[in-house]
Amino acid sequence: MKKIWLAGGCFWGVEAYFQQLKGVAGTKVGYGQGHIENPTYQQVCSGKTGHTEVCEVTYQEEVLSLRKLLEHFFRIIDPVTLNRQGPDLGTQYRSGIYYADKVEKECILEFIKEQQVFHSEPIVVEVEPVKNFYLAEAYHQDYLQKTPNGYCHVDLMLAKAEEKKI
């Protein structure tokens, strides 16, 4: 199993999207890349902790390659908008890809370089080693499964459409 940490606006939609994909073994939502330990949702929303809302994705690389996972991620984010996804605005909603080993870094950077040709503005997705990841409060975990009509900026049907192609 491999892990990658993805920030793409509100973590509820990112988690719900990736939970639908074949090869994803598990997801958790939390706060990453900040400078205080175990922040609360309220602290992260203040914009003073440096954290972003992150979805930890555990996946089977032999079923879902890192490249394919990144294709899915870019399907649900706007990679050229800084500190915003959909109506979610603030540094906690910045987009990012956080990795655990240097081999992943090279794959991620190559993928972003390839994607840049599709955009007239620079891609602003952070690419960094995962610095930290703290689980979000229990009510945030699997939020859209618990709250089927809950808020989501991600078009979850994109995952279902992709599954039909496979």
CATH number for position 138: 3.30.1060.10
Is 166 part of a structural domain of the chain?
no
pLDDT in tens, 124-133: 999 999 999 9
Is 116 part of a structural domain of the chain?
yes
Is 32 part of a structural domain of the chain?
yes
- pLDDT range class, residue 52, cuts 50, 70, 90: very high
The 3-class SS string of 61-99 reads CCCCCHHHHHHHHHHHCCCCCCCEECCEECHHHCEEEEE
How many domains is the chain partitioned into structurally? 1
Residue 165 has pLDDT above 60, yes or no: no
Choose, from 10, 45, 55, 107, the residue flagged as catalytic: 10
Residue 156 has pLDDT above 50, yes or no: yes
**Is 45 part of the annotated catalytic residue set?**
no
What is the domain range of residue 155?
Answer: 2-160
